[in-house]
Amino acid sequence: MTADNGSPLDPDEQRAAVRTRYAGLAGGDSNCCSESTDCCDTTTADGPAQLGYRTEDVAAIPESAQLSLGCGNPLAIDNLEPGEDVLDLGSGAGFDCFLAATEVGPDGSVIGVDMTPEMLQRARRTADDEDYDNVDFRLGEIEALPVADHSVDVIISNCVINLSPDKPRVFEEAFRVLRPEGRLAVSDVVLTAEPPDALREDADAIASCAGGAESIPRLRSMLETAGFESVAISPKVDSAEFIRDWSDKYDLDDYLRSASIKGRKPT
């Protein structure tokens, strides 16, 4: 059985590679990614700014949550309103959850779902230590969300959906948990050209945000099939600058870009 993203890897093998990588990161490994693929490296001073984060926002979030900033700020895609309920797919150490919690305020709520127990432990510890009372972190896979039907207003995610071996199911689940007129606003990587087979077959590259990306037409089809309307997928041309530095093994900027991905659940 192969993953839905075209990878020859077994889905369980793919999930295991992703879980192992992020468990190591949660444990304090300073190297965000593998030796061969340096995806989501934000060690440079302008890293957060390149991804759309304001300096003051980064400074306001506890360092324990700043393990990685992914490939773009999902909160910059869609403005959150006070009182809204937000779901973060693949919440990791909680960085975007804590930013969202500030935006929605005490009358709103944020749910973070992640499949890595070590990441959840770290995020929950930060939430307790910093008194984020409106944030709830849950163990689960984004293909089977531990979230009730029609219970959230906005779904965000930062460079995580590309890791899934079953992306159509991810969008079906997102549609299920959104309220009518709810919004999907995520940052992820998209294909701008067909990648080499070696990249698709590289478990390490897939676990590092580089090998599991999909084309824009295919992503659009998945979203519309799931039921989303007003689908918009906008590649960020300037993302080539930091994607170029993600790997010494592959010329990733030849076929990858970061993109904002939006959709709305109809009334």
State the pLDDT at residue 30.
38
- Above 90 in pLDDT, residue 64? no
Classify residue 26: in a domain, yes or no.
yes
- Above 60 in pLDDT, residue 25? yes
Classify residue 82: in a domain, yes or no.
yes
Classify residue 228: in a domain, yes or no.
yes
- Above 60 in pLDDT, residue 40? no
More confident of the two residues 55 and 147? 147
State the pLDDT at residue 86.
98
- Over the stretch 149-200, which tens digit does the pLDDT of each residue have? 999 999 999 999 999 999 999 999 999 999 999 999 999 999 999 998 888 8
CATH number, residue 165: 3.40.50.150
HEC-encoded secondary structure of the chain: CCCCCCCCCCHHHHHHHHHHHHHHHHCCCCCCCCCCECCCCCCCCCHHHHCCCCHHHHHHCCHHHCCCCCCCCHHHCCCCCCCCEEEEECCCCCHHHHHHHHHHCCCCEEEEEECCHHHHHHHHHHHHHCCCCCEEEEECECCECCCCCCCEEEEEEECCHHHCCCHHHHHHHHHHHEEEEEEEEEEEEEECCCCCHHHHCCHHHHHCCCCCCEEHHHHHHHHHHHCCEEEEEEECHHHHHHHCCCECCCCHHHCEEEEEEEEECCC
Q: Give mean pLDDT, residues 96-123.
A: 95
- Give the chain's domain count: 1
Classify residue 4: in a domain, yes or no.
no
Classify residue 48: in a domain, yes or no.
yes
Classify residue 2: in a domain, yes or no.
no
The overall pTM is greater than 0.75: yes
Domain that holds residue 103: 11-264
Classify residue 194: in a domain, yes or no.
yes
The percent of residues in the chain predicted with pLDDT above 90, rounded, is: 60
- Over the stretch 128-140, which tens digit does the pLDDT of each residue have? 999 999 999 999 9
- Kindly report which listed range (66-75, 114-123, 153-162, 169-178) carries the lowest average pLDDT score: 66-75
Classify residue 3: in a domain, yes or no.
no
Q: Give mean pLDDT, residues 63-82.
A: 86
